[in-house]
Structure 1
Amino acid sequence: MKSQHKKPLHIYFALFTGLTLAMGSCKKFVEIPPPVNQLTAATVFSSDATASAAIAGIYSRLSQSGFIQAITPYAAMYADETVNYEPGNQGEFALSQLTRISSPALNTNFWNLGYQYIYFANAAIGELNTGSGVSPALKANLTGEAKFIRAYLYLNLSSLFGDVPLITDTRYQSNATFPRSPKAQVMQFIIEDLKEAVELLGEQTGGEKVRANRYAAMALLARAYLYNGEWALAQQSANAVIESKKYTMLTDPSKVFLKNSSEAILQLYPTQTNQNTPDGLTFLPATAAEQPKYVITPALLSAFEPADLRKSAWIASRIFLGQSYAYPAKYRVINTSVLSEYLMVLRLAEQYLIRGEARIQLGDIENGIADLNVIRKRARPAPAPTLPNPVPDLSGSISKAEALLAMEKERQTELMCEMGHRWLDLQRTGRADKILKAVKPDTWTATAILWPIPEEQLRLNPFLEQNPGYNK
């Protein structure tokens, strides 16, 4: 599969040594001491403290990885959210026209790192399953976390690339020549991992929200069911998160992405020195005189109703050389040692949107629109006594097709420039062709619905086949 899979297991877990890891309340840090000789997987999972720190290490590595740093800007360009016509692969993503130039970015940021962290999760699951040094309750919880992480990575990889190799262990020799598995099989594996994670994980919801709990697994399971077209199960899982009452919608959109906000189900703890979130670093101009790197498209700007509070809270603008540029600003902090923002992975608003879409697909349009209106209520400014409501509730007395379009628009605005949601929505609903052909008429093609398998991986593994449209 890739050359890194040919390293023995202890090399991978040696990567966790010397990392500053968030544990417990994350107000203090724990550093795993370096080993005398080699840090083997068996040694890591020989005690509660080192096993918990090893799983925390996966989150830590993931939070600063190219995988997390690249998914939002690259997917936003690939869809219709932002433009950035810089030379090289950036321009290819903006045009939705990936070629060999963009292959290294796909490999380094997504495929290679995705499977690296899947390897970590597989190793952890294997050691926790066979070892006896971790207490039973903690073993169950850590196994649930590892399965959650593995499912999260596979859900993203299969969404971006389609069929992908389904690697479930650490046998690097056989894994290096593993073929692609059908996406339907991968999706079922993801769902089973998350169902098991729901059973294994505890309900801890206080303090820092930087490690997966039962509700995080339920929330990701709801997303997986939605992506897989299993509407009743998507509704059921999202409903379980909503009705748990463990999370609440904030009335002020500007506070949603603060650390440990009441809406957050899972966030990633910042691990880079003097940095809060990679999205803040990516999207915000570094100086008062700098042009924004990523500019919001007219399509996204026009999707917001004029008085929508989210537009003013999550989009900033700047005049540069006499031209006004709007840019993403869900995160408002770039470089500071004071941590006020954590990168959002899962939040309550998405669960309302999942439940609402599932209800509409099941024919319960009225309640589906009611969920959508929960989201719109937060976007609504205080009404003026003599003026109509600027962001009114939508009526449930509309057709299924109209309701689904309303849901698409609400997801476009609520989840804008956030972990690739817009691109994955256009892809999974079959709407990419219609929407992006209009936005990018000269470069969009139907085969662009999947990203190409990186050339580096095709050279390493002769059993991988390229996606259609990329064999030139």
Structure 2
Amino acid sequence: MTFLNFRGRAAAGAGLLGAALALAACSASDLDVPEYNNPSIEQLETNPTPAGIKAAAVGMLLGAKSDMTGRTGYISMLGIVGRESYTLDVSDPRYVSELLVGPVTNSGAFGAGLWTARYADIRLGNIILHALDKVEGMSDAEKAAVRGFVKTMQAYDFLLVINTRDVNGAPIEVDQPLGSDLAPIASKSAVFAHIVSLLDAGRTDLQAGGASFPFIMSSGFARFSTPASFITFNRALKARVDVYTQQYATALTDLNASFLNTADSLSVGAYNTYGSGSDAPNDLAGSDVIFAHPSVVADAEHKPDATLDNRVLAKVTTVDERSLSGVKSDKAFTIYASNASPVPIIRNEELILLRAEARWFTNDKPGAMADLNFIRTTSGGLAPIAQPATDAAFITELLKQRRYSLLFEGGHRWIDARRFGRLADLPLDLPSHIRIAAFQVPLSECQSRNLPSPCAATP
């Protein structure tokens, strides 16, 4: 059995549900221990109860943040390939030898990582959706609220997968019974279409979800703790997908239905939360091996008073220099102050930048510049600029503002460079270094389908 299809009782899915049922008892490592006979999963599949479904929904919140902040987690790995960060760990030079020098393989935590945790969470969501069809003791509104929440979080998981695999694609038909054929590897466009379908279906469910969720939301979703307010988070994710797929007119509609608000704090948004015990720590905080790429400071603009962009001053500091395999840095991140620091999923500042992009490419260039200059002045403390003369010049400015506003939050620089065909703009520190365009589909997934390795979506 592969982890991808989770055609039996998924180990990681069981762990997430177990963690939700015993929040104080589990550690982060517990979520990775196979529990094929977990009775809570058995009950959820065969004789679900309202309490079990509510606990499983909390488990999806745990799953959403799994594999995000570790050294081989999403933020750090995408930070390296996007030249936001280095991991200079003398005990494991693969952070340089694979991610900077290459080639990236499709096995191990480097080339084949950032996969299993996402599909574990998707699988748990599918179990919840099936349980809702059987459970007694929940109102129709409560069921709709849970369905809308689950589909939205599944869409987020699929988005993280395709962000890493891009044109290599990813399976989407993974809700299959034991013994069925493995899901095919779908194309990038099919994955994005599936994400859109989940988000739209989730919104419809949330609209019928009543006044409150039947489970306790994470504090990172404090602004989105009811079905009605959670729709604004759903639409924010949808707007990000719209922009990624250049559906700019649709993006403006979804942004209008999101929580975008230039009168609100730029930090307002949805966050993955961290801590201790079952609320695993944010391992990006205080790391002695994760460094900022020197270009973060070198490329930054200066404010009218000649000091650096406020975002650099707030997010990066100078430390003792570290070098490894010809790579060196004396810059470190201060974004995450402690191991309890939350990590943004999406926030107001990104939404304003998404709207700037959508406005520009729907020919509202004054509106686009209003948004872009709002971020320059409000977030960066920089002087406003005149409207660029060309699309290319606007994109250059947009990517600069996105780089500093969303620094080390979720691989945005790498994703942006790829979607605009600007990977060549990412610096190479040594002639032996390469620029990685996408991670591979894991070797085990190719082998389980009897496909040659590396494998990808069929054109």
Task: Answer whether TM exceeds 0.5 for this pair.
Answer: yes
Partner of residue 305, structure 1: 301
Give the Å deviation of 1:14.
6.7
**Which consecutive unaligned segments of at least 5 residues does structure 2 have?**
24-36, 225-229, 303-307
Partner of residue 225, structure 1: 242
Deviates further, 80-89 or 367-376: 80-89
* Cα separation, 2, equivalents of 1:153 and 1:36: 25
1:427 to 407, 415, 418: 418
Deviates further, 68-77 or 393-402: 393-402
Partner of residue 167, structure 1: 173
After superposition, the Cα gap between the structure-2 partners of 1:138 and 1:160, relative to the gap in structure 1 and judged at 3 Å, is same
1:197 matched to 2:202: yes
Structural mapping, 1:65-464, within 5 Å: 65-67=66-68, 69=70, 70-86=73-89, 87-95=92-100, 97-100=102-105, 103-106=107-110, 109-162=113-166, 163-174=169-180, 177-201=182-206, 208-210=219-221, 213-242=230-259, 245=261, 248-250=264-266, 256=267, 263-264=268-269, 266-270=270-274, 272-273=276-277, 277-278=281-282, 281-285=283-287, 292-306=288-302, 307-319=308-320, 325-334=330-339, 341-381=341-381, 391-396=382-387, 398-432=389-423, 434-436=424-426, 441-444=431-434, 448-463=436-451
Q: Confirm or deny: 8 A CA contact 2:102 2:434 kept in the other structure.
A: yes
Deviation per CA, 1:245-296: give whole Å up to 9, x if none: 598225xxxxx4xxxxxx12x1123253397752xx32524xxxxxx41222
* Cα separation, 2, equivalents of 1:21 and 1:393: 51
Q: Confirm or deny: 8 A CA contact 1:309 1:380 kept in the other structure.
A: yes
* SS of 1:449 mapped into structure 2: coil
Partner of residue 31, structure 1: none
Deviates further, 371-380 or 144-153: 371-380
Partner of residue 30, structure 2: none
RMSD between superposed Cα atoms in Å: 3.4
Q: Confirm or deny: 8 A CA contact 1:316 1:328 kept in the other structure.
A: yes
Give the Å deviation of 1:200.
2.2
**Which consecutive unaligned segments of at least 5 residues does structure 1 have?**
23-33, 251-255, 257-262, 286-291, 382-390
After superposition, the Cα gap between the structure-2 partners of 1:297 and 1:271, relative to the gap in structure 1 and judged at 3 Å, is closer
Deviates further, 34-43 or 132-141: 34-43
Give the Å deviation of 1:346.
1.2
Matched residue type, 2:170: V
After superposition, the Cα gap between the structure-2 partners of 1:311 and 1:190, relative to the gap in structure 1 and judged at 3 Å, is same
* SS of 2:171 mapped into structure 1: coil
* Cα separation, 2, equivalents of 1:127 and 1:180: 27
Q: Confirm or deny: 8 A CA contact 1:83 1:295 kept in the other structure.
A: yes
Amino-acid identity (%): 20
Deviation per CA, 1:200-232: give whole Å up to 9, x if none: 226879993438611111110001111111111
After superposition, the Cα gap between the structure-2 partners of 1:456 and 1:88, relative to the gap in structure 1 and judged at 3 Å, is farther
Matched residue type, 1:122: N
* Cα separation, 2, equivalents of 1:408 and 1:37: 46
After superposition, the Cα gap between the structure-2 partners of 1:81 and 1:168, relative to the gap in structure 1 and judged at 3 Å, is same
Count residues with an aligned counterpart.
Answer: 415
After superposition, the Cα gap between the structure-2 partners of 1:9 and 1:159, relative to the gap in structure 1 and judged at 3 Å, is closer
After superposition, the Cα gap between the structure-2 partners of 1:465 and 1:449, relative to the gap in structure 1 and judged at 3 Å, is same
- Please give the TM-score of this superposition, normalised by the length of structure 1: 0.78
After superposition, the Cα gap between the structure-2 partners of 1:313 and 1:142, relative to the gap in structure 1 and judged at 3 Å, is same
After superposition, the Cα gap between the structure-2 partners of 1:247 and 1:62, relative to the gap in structure 1 and judged at 3 Å, is farther
Partner of residue 26, structure 1: none
**Greater relative contact order (Cα < 8 A, sep 6+):** 2
Give the Å deviation of 1:89.
3.0
Give the Å deviation of 1:68.
5.1
